[in-house]
Amino acid sequence: MSQRGVPRLTWIAFLSIACVGQQGSVSNVVPTQTIARRTCTGEFSGPGARPVSATTVANWYIKDGSLIYLLFLRGDPGWYNRKTAWNYATDSLGQFVQSFAVGDFRYRITLDAESKSVALSTIRLDLQSANVGFVDRVADTAVLRGSELHDFCWTSPPDPVAEVLGQSKAGVEFVSRAASLGTKAVANRR
């Protein structure tokens, strides 16, 4: 709350969804409007991860009841059915880092609060524009297929995956398919 008892609002420039087009290319992301995003005061924070479908896992971070980011990482069916190790820490730069090892595939998700971004592999998602990313695992790298902005303020711990998919037709379609590069499915190295 502000000093006058009025909820504070932060602004976020909303970007159109980047999605795979008819020819399999990712459309350009262009600013379309500025929206207000409420300040949330939920009493829980932390990371999470879980399988979503045979092809996709989700990784997220919630702070004070607000979704900071949720990344859907998609590959071949069952790619994540391997011995998995997961840890998280804050690095020397103050960034929150989640590290995953799924079989011989390793990836890191880095939340940089100062630059208001989250990174996975070579992908960087500007959290002032979008907080949900749709990422294909292609061999040992990642390709961003699209992004969306979802503004939630939860008062009890949620299932952020179900909440986002309940609002996102593109998200449901994404988690229902195997990873692709262009218009052809790409086999991921396990």
For CA atoms 67, 45, 61, 167, the dihedral sign is negative
- Domain assignment of residue 22, yes or no: yes
The pLDDT, as a whole number, for residue 110 is: 95
Domain residues for 126? 9-185
Domains of the chain: total:
1
β-bridge partners, 54: none
- Domain assignment of residue 85, yes or no: yes
Q: How far is CA 140 from CA 8, 46, 122, 151, in A?
A: 42, 27, 11, 31
List average pLDDT for each run of 10 residues in the chain, which is 190 residues long. 33 28 32 56 88 94 94 92 91 90 91 93 91 89 92 91 96 90 40
- Domain assignment of residue 162, yes or no: yes
- Domain assignment of residue 137, yes or no: yes
The pLDDT, as a whole number, for residue 179 is: 85
Sequence-separated (6 or more) residues with CB below 8 Å from residue 81: none
Sequence-separated (6 or more) residues with CB below 8 Å from residue 74: 55, 56, 134, 135, 136, 137, 174, 175, 177, 178, 179
C-alpha 66 chain-centroid distance: 13
The pLDDT, as a whole number, for residue 96 is: 93
Judging by beta carbons within 10 Å of its beta carbon (0-12, 13-18, 19+), is residue 109 exposed, middle or buried? Answer: buried
